[in-house]
């Protein structure tokens, strides 16, 4: 029995070393590929610059709307319009938006949700038709931008001949639970980026409005997709017109999202990203538990005593912690080292979120902003 256990542990350690090597190579490739090293402000005159419509869907967001609008209003981009759609909020979100009319913010009142549409998708579609800019920059209300962010995004899109660009926002706040125990949503996006399913960020993404409405047909094709921007990015990736960027201090795209909100978002996204297959969810959960297993073996030392196995597991845990710390250093302003050391607990949290997403979708209990969400295969 003891020999069998030793064989199992040896195989597990070998698998973990192999996964680590592959993950380290993949992360290095992604961090090099998705980075803007220098500012790329366009030298064009104002007359030559394309116009940009910043579009924000909002539903019961009075607690964060002020900061979001102020960051956009502070933008120095000269050809800009700001449109906010209130999606039938039950609080005073609409009144708050209207209070910024003197700052140039245009209020759009949402309409009842048609059959077959998810709420946010319907709001994004309505905003696209309200916009008049060459580009539409979609922003979540928990995203913040710097005064020159839009100028840099436009310059980058034109330099790359990209019809769509999305940005993974940085965390600028300090080491608190919402940072240290962030879900692995964007970590997976980066690690599993491929042409058929490219890494895509939802908080801030910009797309050519004509391409969106005329070539891609807007959101009608993806009206029930849990993450429609991923579908659009995949379509444009096929023609080499999509780019993904990891936010930097120079680019100035940041976000603040409470820990509970991150967990709810993960529950809403994970099962659909696994093609709404229960078997895929089980396999993914087991994979994450395997990656987290070194922490469990180390913790077992407090119960069964310390041995050579705990020492090897500890070394593997530190290897994976270092790998995650490299990622966290790029996307967090502070707390990345502590976040790395918490890697095992974060992985265990992710395993729970995957299964919670699968179970709740199967029970038809996943909601978003008070509306039921169903997962489509």
Q: Tell me phi and psi for residue 105, to 5 degrees.
A: -85, 125
d(Cα 166, Cα 153) in Å, to the nearest integer? Answer: 9
Domain identity same for 230 and 295: no
In a domain, 318, yes or no: yes
In a domain, 3, yes or no: no
Domain identity same for 89 and 189: yes
pLDDT for 207 equals 98
Domain identity same for 71 and 52: yes
For residue 76, the Cα-to-chain-centroid distance in whole angstroms is 26
Domain identity same for 262 and 275: no
In a domain, 4, yes or no: no
d(Cα 106, Cα 103) in Å, to the nearest integer? Answer: 9
Angle at 80 between CA 76 and CA 85, to 5 degrees: 120
Domain identity same for 41 and 173: yes
Domain identity same for 98 and 235: yes
In a domain, 41, yes or no: yes
Alpha helix (H) ranges present in the chain?
2-33, 65-73, 93-98, 119-130, 149-160, 177-180, 185-191, 209-210, 228-237, 259-273, 278-304, 308-331, 336-341, 343-362
Positions in the chain short of pLDDT 70: 1-2, 37-47, 375-377
Domain identity same for 189 and 324: no
Which DSSP category does 212 fall into?
Answer: I
Q: Tell me phi and psi for residue 138, to 5 degrees.
A: -85, 130
pLDDT for 345 equals 94
Domain identity same for 263 and 274: no
> What is the signed CA dihedral for 17, 18, 21, 26, rounded to 10 degrees?
-140
d(Cα 373, Cα 170) in Å, to the nearest integer? Answer: 28
End-to-end CA distance of the chain: 43
pLDDT for 297 equals 86
Expressed as residue numbers, the domain containing 288 is 9-30+269-372
In a domain, 1, yes or no: no
SS3 220: helix
pLDDT for 359 equals 96
Domain identity same for 208 and 140: yes
In a domain, 212, yes or no: yes
Contacts of residue 14, Cβ cutoff 8 Å, sequence gap at least 6: none
Q: Domain ends where: 222, 249, 267?
A: 267
In a domain, 377, yes or no: no
d(Cα 194, Cα 203) in Å, to the nearest integer? Answer: 20
pLDDT for 344 equals 92
Number of domains, the chain = 2
pLDDT for 12 equals 85
Angle in degrees, 0-180, between the axes of helices 308-331 and 343-362, rounded to the nearest 10: 80
Domain identity same for 225 and 312: no
Domain identity same for 154 and 256: yes
Q: Domain ends where: 239, 267, 295?
A: 267
Domain identity same for 24 and 142: no
Beta bridge partners of residue 57, listed in sequence order:
85
In a domain, 133, yes or no: yes
Strands 253-255 and 80-86: unpaired
């Amino acid at each position: 029995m003891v020999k069998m256990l030793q064989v199992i542990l040896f195989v597990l350690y070998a698998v973990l070393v192999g996964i680590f090597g592959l993950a380290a190579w993949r992360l290095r490739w992604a961090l090099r590929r998705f980075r803007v090293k220098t500012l790329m402000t366009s030298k064009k005159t104002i007359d030559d610059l394309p116009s940009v419509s910043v579009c924000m869907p909002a539903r019961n967001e009075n607690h964060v709307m002020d900061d979001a609008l102020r960051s956009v209003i502070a933008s120095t981009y000269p050809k800009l319009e700001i449109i906010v759609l209130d999606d039938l909020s039950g609080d005073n979100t609409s009144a708050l938006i209207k209070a910024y009319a003197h700052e140039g913010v245009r209020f759009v009142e949402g309409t009842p949700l048609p059959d077959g549409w998810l709420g946010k998708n319907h709001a994004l579609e309505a905003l696209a038709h309200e916009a008049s800019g060459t580009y539409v920059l979609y922003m979540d209300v928990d995203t913040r931008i710097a005064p020159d962010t839009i100028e840099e995004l436009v310059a980058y899109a034109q330099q790359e001949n990209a019809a769509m660009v999305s940005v993974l926002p940085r965390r600028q706040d300090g080491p608190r639970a919402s940072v240290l125990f962030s879900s692995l949503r964007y970590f997976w996006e980066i690690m599993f980026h491929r042409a058929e399913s490219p890494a895509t960020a939802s908080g801030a993404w910009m797309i050519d409005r004509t391409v969106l409405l005329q070539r891609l047909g807007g959101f009608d094709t993806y009206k029930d997709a849990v993450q429609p921007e991923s579908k659009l990015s995949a379509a444009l990736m096929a023609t080499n017109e999509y780019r993904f960027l990891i936010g930097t201090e120079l680019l100035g795209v940041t976000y603040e999202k409470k820990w509970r909100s991150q967990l709810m978002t993960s529950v809403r996204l994970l099962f659909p990203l696994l093609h709404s297959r229960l078997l895929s969810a089980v396999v993914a959960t087991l994979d994450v538990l395997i990656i987290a297993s070194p922490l469990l073996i180390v913790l077992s030392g407090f119960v069964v005593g310390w041995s050579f196995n705990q020492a090897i597991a500890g070394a593997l845990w530190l290897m994976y912690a270092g790998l995650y710390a490299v990622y966290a250093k790029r996307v967090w302003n502070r707390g990345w080292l502590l976040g790395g050391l918490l890697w095992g607990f974060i992985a265990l949290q992710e395993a729970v979120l995957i299964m919670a997403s699968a179970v709740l979708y199967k029970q038809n209990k996943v909601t978003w902003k008070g509306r039921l969400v169903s997962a489509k295969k």
